[in-house]
Chain A
């Protein structure tokens, strides 16, 4: 029996590592390609700046790749670490860690490609603002990475925490649910934050005088857009650290798995939707100084309403964990 579990642990580590890197490669590649396409466009319009634009493109692509590198770290850990003890729970852990990081890298990869692409266009349009636009691009794509960082945290906690002594029956579902909640939950917020940061870069290039207010509202909009990814992290933490009593029936396990799926999938839409709200608000605040206060408020209210579906998902997940 022990040999059997060891074989399955190996299988799970291989499958998990493969899924981490496979899913993790999707987002960053799309983001980087988008950046390159916009950089080509910018160079075509203004060939004298090709040196600067080329540099900006490479820096931006390097940042967009961060999410994939996180996935690579997890895949390497899964493939090459020697885990000393054998436990059937480790099978679920490896699968969950791989899925979590792989799915979590998709959104941030795409998202952090958007501001860097717009920064290339912006530098072409307004070469004097190069330094300011580069700073905003770095800030925007760094914050767009945080959903991927949340997924990485969940994966590493899953890999390094000791589950021995916990009952196998509901805990395997809690582990898988935690991975799915954090991984799927990061997709929408990553893309949404990228949308907000994109219009921040664009706005500063169009209206350099309004750089400060545009930056502030952009950071605010991105922070609110990130909220649903944080709910995913929260549900993942609860599922990992709560002690569930042993239960033979499959229903208890499915409740935990369902909680993770509910929060994960439920966070995708609100993340993208809040991104749209923030995107247009930042875009118009850059152009219209008098409207800053009104637009900020309408952005926050709009994002709060868009987020309410994410809050419904959070409530249902909590009910599934604590009541069902």
Chain B
């Protein structure tokens, strides 16, 4: 039980400020980057009409996620944002699932990861909005329906980042705490595989999908 909430931190003094690095999270994130790069390489190494196993999995991801993006935006924008959405979903899925392996931890369990993903989506959505409507049209949106709604619209936009990142964080953190506590209570007999199947595989996949879906919708709402 002692490992509950413990984080390995590296604190580096930097001109009078302490810079804190969560070592475990950084290592895990890079491990997942490596895994995804390897996966991409293997999937596209020898492309054939009759695909191999890895190529099929890769094509499955690409087809489904491009389809989703194109449904929500349009053909042209879907092609533009498709790669981003694919990468986001595959990263989140690998992050949520990697906690099952021994000595691995979910990077999404640390609020920093979901928050940075949420901020990324926020920045991209608003950039896309400015590109699509022009700066004036973008600003005007905030004064709809009446001008004094501006502060609330602004808070509403910021609350989107909070909600999208805390949703992922809360679910993954909650799942891993439940697995830890229940495994501890039953002395790791019988229950942990089922808990992992539900909280890691099932909830992890759903939350990765929901996060991706919301990012698509946030971009789509801005460009329309």
- The chain A residues found within 8 Å of chain B, CB to CB, are 70, 73, 76-77, 138-139, 142-143, 146, 149-150, 152-153, 156-157, 160-161, 213, 216, 219-220, 222-224, 226-227, 230-231, 233-234, 296-297, 300, 304, 307-308, 311, 314-315
Contacts and interface: CB of A to CB of B under 8 A. Distances in A.
A311 B5 contact: no
Nearest to B175: A149
Identify the interface centre among B71, B167, B173: most chain A CB within 10 Å of its CB: B167
Interface in B51-92: 68, 71
Nearest to B2: A160
Nearest to A222: B210
B163 interface: yes
A150 B5 contact: no
A223 B174 contact: no
Given A142-B202, A314-B159, A156 B181 contact: yes
17 contacts: A77-B181, A142-B203, A142-B206, A146-B167, A146-B170, A146-B174, A150-B174, A160-B1, A160-B5, A216-B68, A219-B213, A231-B163, A296-B217, A304-B156, A307-B156, A308-B156, A315-B155
Contacts of B222: none
Nearest to A308: B152
Given A146-B167, A230-B167, A153 B203 contact: no
Contacts of A139: 202, 206
Contact of B171 (A146, A156, A222): A146
Given A219-B210, A223-B210, A311-B152, A153 B170 contact: yes
A143 B203 CA distance: 8
B30 interface: no
Nearest to B224: A297
A167 to B, nearest CB: 22
Contacts of B206: 139, 142-143, 219
B166 A234 contact: yes
B187 to A, nearest CB: 15
B198 interface: yes
A149 B209 contact: no
B221 A300 contact: yes
Contacts of B203: 142, 146
A216 B213 contact: yes
Contact of A227 (B163, B209, B213): B163
Contacts of A307: 156
Given A150-B174, A153-B170, A311 B159 contact: yes
B174 A311 contact: no
Contacts of B171: 146, 149
Which applies to chain B's interface (DSSP): helix, strand, loop or mixed? helix
A141 to B, nearest CB: 11
A227 B159 contact: yes
A220 B214 contact: yes
Contacts of B159: 227, 231, 311, 314
Contacts of A296: 217
Given A138-B202, A304-B156, A149 B170 contact: yes
A108 to B, nearest CB: 12
A-B residue pairs, 3 tightest by C-beta: A149-B174, A227-B163, A153-B174
Contacts of B175: 149
B173 A153 contact: yes
A142 B162 CA distance: 22
Interface in B150-168: 152, 155-156, 159, 162-163, 166-167
Contact of B156 (A73, A234, A297, A311): A311
Contacts of B36: none
A139 to B, nearest CB: 6
Nearest to A151: B174
A194 B152 CA distance: 28
Given A149-B171, A223-B214, A300-B217, A311 B155 contact: yes
Contacts of A297: 221, 224
B214 A230 contact: no
A77 B177 CA distance: 14
Contacts of A73: 181-182, 185
A188 B57 CA distance: 39
A315 B159 CA distance: 10
Contact of B166 (A76, A220, A224, A233): A233
A5 to B, nearest CB: 24
A227 to B, nearest CB: 4
Nearest to B111: A237
Contacts of A153: 170, 173-174, 177
B4 interface: yes
Contacts of A304: 156
Contacts of B214: 220, 223-224
A223 B156 contact: no
Nearest to B171: A146
Contacts of B152: 308, 311
A61 B139 CA distance: 49
B43 interface: no
